[in-house]
């Protein structure tokens, strides 16, 4: 039977300056994370053309590279999550950005698809630690009643990295865009000097409690169900981003547009909506003191917008782009999703959950794109995309039912 134990003494209180620094560092870390994560969607066509990939092979090569990046994030999520619980949240914040930055700079020199794929995998491993470690640090630093504001700022501001990726990808060559990402990552390292470790982690580290043991998550069916719920409730945002946004140039003509839309414009509008939706969903969860109801409302909103996208997206280029913005608003509950994941489990396994949950969602892009590709011939690109989207919405709704409401929960406890 799953159980947890409260710690005898509360974690030390911290001052406003320390809280502000933690939020700032986590927000900029996620900003750089999202910049690189989405940059490939922006420069996919230009980079593959430059590497000599024929037009007919663009979709297949793009799917392969995206899957390599997401597989790296899946593996990195486990590695950084365990490290965050065993060695501390700061070790992840420094280590992950260092690996990502070096891989991104090397990516700018890639001369073949195979080299490109290897570097996207390494960069994916590096990127995997940023969001979970940042959200865990902020959640454990702030008070129970206000931490939702901090994690909302981290997630909603960080998402704007995709907007910058779209702009940089439009104005610079694809190689220069990767150099910019690597340089931002190295610059972020300097910002992190002076950030304090989580008091909750330091308190647990002084005990004999097992930390970062992934098997703890699978020690009971109740815990497995809760963990899987924490992961799969985040599927719809990544269906929109990984399929509808990345392959916007293919979906546009399939929906009836006379010319292929630009992926960079779809990225910019979708993530602008995501940032708006992130702030709104986060603050609504604080206002109504409830994470689950707000998440439910935004998942249903996303379902409606996806249906409208497939119904009217081909009317005009303006309507097509507008749907990316409103779908972004609907999927903006990502900010609440990462907060709920961090709040579900105890301090000794919290970084593992908060880091693996969003990265397992990103890793789910691999089976989603595989299913999309397999169904493309019998159902067409529109039919295949609509079916994968409907399934992702259904899984998210079922998963949400398996989560506990966590608003105001005292995080000063450990999993037994």
Per-residue pLDDT tens digits for 20-49: 888 888 888 888 888 887 788 788 888 899
Other Cβ atoms within 10 Å of 398 Cβ, number: 13
Q: Which of 265, 268, 267, 297 is nearest to 280 (CA)?
A: 297
Q: CA-CA distance, 406 to 325, in Å (whole number)?
A: 29
For residue 176, the SS3 value is helix
Two tokens, residue 97: 């950005």
214-221: list long-range contacts, CB under 8 Å, 24+ apart.
Answer: 214/78, 214/81, 214/82, 214/352, 216/348, 216/349, 216/415, 217/345, 217/349, 217/352, 217/353, 219/2, 220/1, 220/2
Q: Residue 387, exposed/middle/buried by CB under 10 A (0-12, 13-18, 19+)?
A: middle
Q: Which residues pair with 5 in a beta bridge?
A: 414
Check if the beta carbon of residue 415 is closer than 8 Å to that of residue 6. no
Q: Which of 243, 271, 41 is nearest to 159 (CA)?
A: 271
What are phi and psi for residue 399, nearest 5 degrees?
-65, -40
Check if the beta carbon of residue 289 is closer than 8 Å to that of residue 264. no
Q: Tell me, rounded to whole angstroms, the distance of Cα 336 from its chain centroid.
A: 12
What pLDDT score was predicted for residue 1?
A: 42
Check if the beta carbon of residue 68 is closer than 8 Å to that of residue 124. yes
Which stretches within 11-129 are classed as H helix? 16-50, 58-86, 89-107, 113-127
Query: Residue-wise pLDDT tens for the chain (416 aa)?
Result: 455 555 554 544 455 777 888 888 888 888 888 888 778 878 888 889 988 888 888 878 888 888 888 888 888 888 888 887 887 777 787 888 888 889 999 998 988 889 999 999 999 898 888 877 788 888 878 777 777 888 888 888 888 888 888 888 888 899 999 999 899 888 887 777 667 666 766 777 777 777 767 777 787 788 888 888 888 999 999 899 888 988 888 888 888 888 778 777 888 899 889 989 988 998 898 889 898 999 999 999 999 999 999 988 778 888 889 999 999 999 999 878 888 887 888 777 888 888 888 888 887 888 888 898 888 888 988 899 999 999 999 999 999 988 888 887 777 777 66
List the Cα angle 106/107/112 in 5-degree steps.
Answer: 115
Q: Which of 78, 83, 107, 103 is nearest to 93 (CA)?
A: 83
Two tokens, residue 222: 């109740």
Q: Which residues pair with 6 in a beta bridge?
A: 413
Check if the beta carbon of residue 223 is closer than 8 Å to that of residue 95. no
Check if the beta carbon of residue 41 is closer than 8 Å to that of residue 267. yes
Q: Which of 287, 264, 58, 308 is nearest to 164 (CA)?
A: 264
What pLDDT score was predicted for residue 273?
A: 92
What are phi and psi for residue 87, nearest 5 degrees?
-110, -10
262: left (phi over 0), alpha (psi -120 to 50) or beta: beta
Q: CA-CA distance, 372 to 380, in Å (whole number)?
A: 9
Check if the beta carbon of residue 48 is closer than 8 Å to that of residue 58. yes
Q: Which of 274, 276, 277 is nearest to 245 (CA)?
A: 274
For the CA atoms of the chain, what is the radius of gyration?
A: 20
Query: Going from the N-terminus, what domains does the chain have, and what CATH number goes with each?
Result: 14-406 (1.20.1250.20)
């Amino acid at each position: 039977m799953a159980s947890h134990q409260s710690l005898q003494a509360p974690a030390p209180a911290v001052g406003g300056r320390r809280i502000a620094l933690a939020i700032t560092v986590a927000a900029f870390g996620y900003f750089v994370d999202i910049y690189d994560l989405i940059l490939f969607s922006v420069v996919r066509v230009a980079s593959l053309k430059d590497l000599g990939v024929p037009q007919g092979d663009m979709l297949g090569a793009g799917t392969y590279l995206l899957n390599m990046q997401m597989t790296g994030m899946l593996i990195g999520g486990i590695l950084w999550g365990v490290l965050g619980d065993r060695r501390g949240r700061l070790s992840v914040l420094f280590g992950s950005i260092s690996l990502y930055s070096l891989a991104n700079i090397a990516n700018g020199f890639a001369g073949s698809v195979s080299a490109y794929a290897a570097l996207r995998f390494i960069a994916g491993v590096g990127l995997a630690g940023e969001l979970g470690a940042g959200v865990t640090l902020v959640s454990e630093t702030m008070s129970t009643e206000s931490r939702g504001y901090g994690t909302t700022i981290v997630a909603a501001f960080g998402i704007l990295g995709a907007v910058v990726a779209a702009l940089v990808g439009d104005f610079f060559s694809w190689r220069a865009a990767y150099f910019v990402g690597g340089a931002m990552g190295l610059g972020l390292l300097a910002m992190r000097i002076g950030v304090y470790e989580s008091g909750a982690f330091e308190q647990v580290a002084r005990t004999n409690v097992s930390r970062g043991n992934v098997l703890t998550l699978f020690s009971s069916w109740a815990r497995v169900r809760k963990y899987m719920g924490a992961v799969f409730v985040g599927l719809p945002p990544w269906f929109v981003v990984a399929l509808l946004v990345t392959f916007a140039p293919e979906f546009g003509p399939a929906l009836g547009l006379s010319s292929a839309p630009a992926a960079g414009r779809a990225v910019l509008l979708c993530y602008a909506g995501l940032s708006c939706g992130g702030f709104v969903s986060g603050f609504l969860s604080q206002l109504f003191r409830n994470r689950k109801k707000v998440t439910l409302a935004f998942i249903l909103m996303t379902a409606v917008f996806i249906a409208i996208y497939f119904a009217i997206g081909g009317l005009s280029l303006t309507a097509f782009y507008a749907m990316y913005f409103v779908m972004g608003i609907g999927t903006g509950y990502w900010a609440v999703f990462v907060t709920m994941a961090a709040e579900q489990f105890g301090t000794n396994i919290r970084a593992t959950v908060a880091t693996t949950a969003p990265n397992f969602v990103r890793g789910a892009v691999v089976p989603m794109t595989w299913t999309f590709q397999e169904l493309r011939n019998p159902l067409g690109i529109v039919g295949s995309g609509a079916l994968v989207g409907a399934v992702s919405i259904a899984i998210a709704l079922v998963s949400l039912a398996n989560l506990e409401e966590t608003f105001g929960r005292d995080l000063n406890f450990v999993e037994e």
